[in-house]
Structure 1
Amino acid sequence: MGSNIIKPQLLEVINELSLSDLMSRQLQTVYEGWSVKRLATFFIKHGIGGAPVIAADDELVGVVTQTDVVRFGSRTLDEKEVQKLTQFYCGPYGGELSEDDMRHMQERASENCTVHSIMTPEVVALDIVTPLAEVCTALAKRDIHRLFVTENGKLVGVVTARDILQRLLE
């Protein structure tokens, strides 16, 4: 019975709101060349769970989250990744790395590996005038928690599922 009273009110609010009503313009960005360690420190310092990734020319190139950092820290290198690291450190004609060298590289991976290596290159961004119903659909269909807001093709903000829920509860 209570849901029948709430439902029309909720639909009215959803139909009236757009991204500009919900988004945060205080957007924290990270550079793709940062180390994973620097990224983790950045997330803690700013109390955020994810951020858009930009290249040196300020082009939006991806998104990275705390989950990406955790996955990176808990994974083990497969054979292909070991070969890539060996080639990187020893050169195309270089030799083999010892087991101690490999262990040392893995221990220092968070300092040597970059945000680019763990980010998701697909960025979900919607225009600032997008209605809330479309925003909710995009979040649900793509199973994501945040999306970025653009205005005239320029990154201007971020909105999270939490932002939407908080606004609907008001």
Structure 2
Amino acid sequence: MQKKTSGKKDDNAETEKNSRKEEEFSESMKEPSQKDNPREAEAFFESIVRGSEGCLWMTIEELMTRDLVTVNEDAPVEEVFSLFAKNPYHTLPVVNKKGELAGVIDLDIVLEILLLCLMPRAKYTPLAARRSLGENAKEIMITHPVTISLNSTLKDVSDLMMKNRFDRVYVSENGKLVGIISKRDLVKEICRRRKMDA
């Protein structure tokens, strides 16, 4: 009986200790407007935006990569495999005759086709079967890729990437593919600005 009672006391003490820690944590995470000292609030904001504030509103045109290797939607599957084998690409944009982004092929799709015999039964879907029989880029690509416009800001593209967990986003202008921007591009720019401000 005594052991059970002391156990409950220990549990209560532990719970109280945890709730105090949570209160301290939530106090430290209060928005600056809730803090008493306006200088503290200002310093809090500065620490968050230092290095990134200056580039949040810059257009992605300044950061994106323009020299893209693309593949035509009529290109044979073997040509697609060859491009992935020779180059360190994660994705390959597929364009139509007008230069518009028609789709994207990634390494997962390539491996799925090349290693179809090793694929678990659960993943053997009609789409996987159809792709394995595809003869050109159009028949194996992911359709309706996400794009962002050329005049979008760094803030716009970072929001899109973080909310949807994209590593890279293609950039279009008047429907045509003009570039690509990746998380690495954003990190490099923000770090560069932080060094300049230090």
TM-score over 0.5 (shorter chain): yes
Q: 1:43 aligns with which of 73, 78, 84?
A: 84
Q: Which has the higher contact order (CA 8 A, sep 6+)?
A: 1
TM-score (norm: length of structure 1): 0.68
| Structure 1 match to 2:181 | 159
| Structure 2 match to 1:16 | 57
Shift of 1:114: 2.3
Gaps of 5+ in 1: 85-105
| Structure 1 match to 2:102 | 61
Q: 1:126 aligns with which of 145, 148, 158?
A: 148
SS at structure 2 position matched to 1:155:
strand
Superposed CA deviations along residues 5-61 of structure 1, whole A, max 9, x for unmatched, are 652213413423221121011011112222333212213434322121112443321
**Contact 2:101 2:175 (C-alpha < 8 Å) held by counterparts:** no
Shift of 1:80: 5.8
Note closer, same or farther for the CA distance 1:114–1:9 as it changes in structure 2 (3 Å cut): same
Superposed CA deviations along residues 107-141 of structure 1, whole A, max 9, x for unmatched, are xx6xx632223211021111111111110111122
- When the two chains are superposed, the root-mean-square deviation of aligned CA atoms in Å is 3.1
Note closer, same or farther for the CA distance 1:142–1:36 as it changes in structure 2 (3 Å cut): farther
The answer on 1:33 being equivalent to 2:55 is no
Figure out how many residues of one structure are paired with residues of the other and give that number.
144
Instruction: Read off the aligned partner of 1:131 and give its amino acid letter.
Output: T
Task: Give identity over the alignment, percent.
Answer: 25
Task: Give every structure 1 segment of 4 or more consecutive aligned residues whose post-TM-superposition deviation is greater than 6 Å.
Answer: none
SS at structure 1 position matched to 2:142:
coil
TM-score (norm: length of structure 2): 0.60
Gaps of 5+ in 2: 1-43, 193-198
**Contact 1:149 1:158 (C-alpha < 8 Å) held by counterparts:** yes
Shift of 1:4: 7.3
